[in-house]
């Protein structure tokens, strides 16, 4: 592309950001749409997120992605927050509006689109959700929004699991999330479940572990979805497959959260054909 006086800038703020694959997604989309746009990472020192957001607006930045550790820290610097992001209490996409940025959470819609593309439904599904951190909390809200019938939230700390369950049940106004200790998985009802792995266990370089490793647990799973994408086959995924379940990694979630952000910034719709083309580039870059 030719960068000139009309080039719009989007980017990612976080710490660290040097490892990010997001520029590949957005710059590939800009090329496919012939948009005069460039996407770059912006490393921001801890404690300076609000200053960075204000500065980005003054510099006429079209939009920003936000990654750790700033997804909640930037909230006071926004003029508006999307309803889903408000519920989750975290944003990952900022869209330029009159007077400031509006915050969205495209992680969860991105996960949903990734799952749909793999033929995975949430409506009416009984879900095992592993973890009670920020990612798991967001997934629980997604399950509520998309009509899951039950969510069994398993975590080492039952206290944290209880807190997430109470919040999601209260805000969704239904008894949906049931907290449990990881070790209590034998008490799960009979049947086969969709399991979503939302902890950091198994993330590179700690690739030889899963949050639960007993075979009996994996016999309960028909489909496992790991939010981790590096390695491309986590221990969790291997254990699911060994019990004849289907297993998926989180690279498509990364793809679709980026696509949704691009759609918001540029008021376009990215086709599934284009999404698949960018996904192939992403897989190559990620070594998958």
Angle at alpha carbon of residue 105, lines to 103 and 109, rounded to 5° = 145
Per-residue burial over 181-212, b = 16 or more CB atoms within 10 Å of its CB, e = otherwise:
ebeebeebeeeebbbbbbbebbbeeeeeebbb
Residue 64 · residue 26 · CB < 8 Å: no
Percent of the chain as helix, strand, coil, to the nearest 5 = 40, 20, 40
Q: Pick the catalytic residue: 46, 54, 71, 171?
A: 71
Q: How far is CA 127 from the centre of its chain?
A: 17
For the chain, the maximum distance between any two Cα atoms, rounded to a whole number of angstroms, is 63
Which residue in this structure is represented by tokens 């990881």? Answer: 182
Pick from 130, 118, 115, 121: nearest CA to 234? 130
Cβ neighbours of residue 283 closer than 8 Å, sequence gap 6 or more: 251
Q: Identify whether 71 is a catalytic site residue.
A: yes
Q: Catalytic residues, which ones?
A: 71
């Amino acid at each position: 592309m030719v960068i000139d006086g009309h080039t719009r800038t989007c980017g990612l703020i976080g710490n660290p950001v040097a490892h990010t694959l997001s520029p590949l997604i957005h710059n590939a989309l800009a090329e496919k749409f012939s948009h005069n746009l460039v996407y770059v990472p912006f490393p921001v020192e801890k404690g300076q997120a609000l200053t960075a957001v204000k500065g980005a607006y003054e510099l006429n930045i079209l939009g920003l992605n936000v990654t750790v550790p700033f997804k909640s820290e930037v909230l006071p610097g926004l003029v508006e927050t999307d309803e889903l992001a408000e519920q989750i209490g975290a944003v990952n996409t900022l869209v330029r509006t009159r007077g400031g940025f509006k915050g969205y959470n495209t992680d969860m819609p991105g996960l949903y689109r990734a799952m749909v593309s793999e033929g995975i439904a949430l409506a009416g599904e009984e879900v095992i959700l592993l973890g009670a951190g920020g990612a798991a909390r967001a997934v629980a809200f997604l399950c509520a929004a998309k009509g899951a019938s039950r969510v069994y939230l398993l975590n080492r700390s039952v206290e944290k699991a209880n807190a997430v369950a109470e919040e999601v049940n209260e805000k969704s106004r239904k008894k949906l999330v049931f907290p449990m200790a990881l070790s209590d998985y034998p008490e799960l009802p009979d049947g086969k479940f969709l399991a979503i792995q939302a902890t950091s266990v198994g993330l590179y370089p700690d690739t030889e572990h899963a949050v639960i490793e007993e075979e009996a647990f994996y016999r309960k799973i028909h489909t496992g979805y790991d939010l981790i994408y590096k390695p491309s086959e986590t221990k969790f995924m291997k254990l699911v497959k060994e019990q004849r379940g289907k297993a998926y990694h989180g690279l498509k979630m990364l793809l679709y959260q980026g696509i949704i952000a691009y759609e918001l910034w540029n008021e376009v719709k990215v086709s599934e054909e284009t999404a698949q083309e960018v996904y192939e580039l992403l897989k190559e870059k990620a070594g998958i």
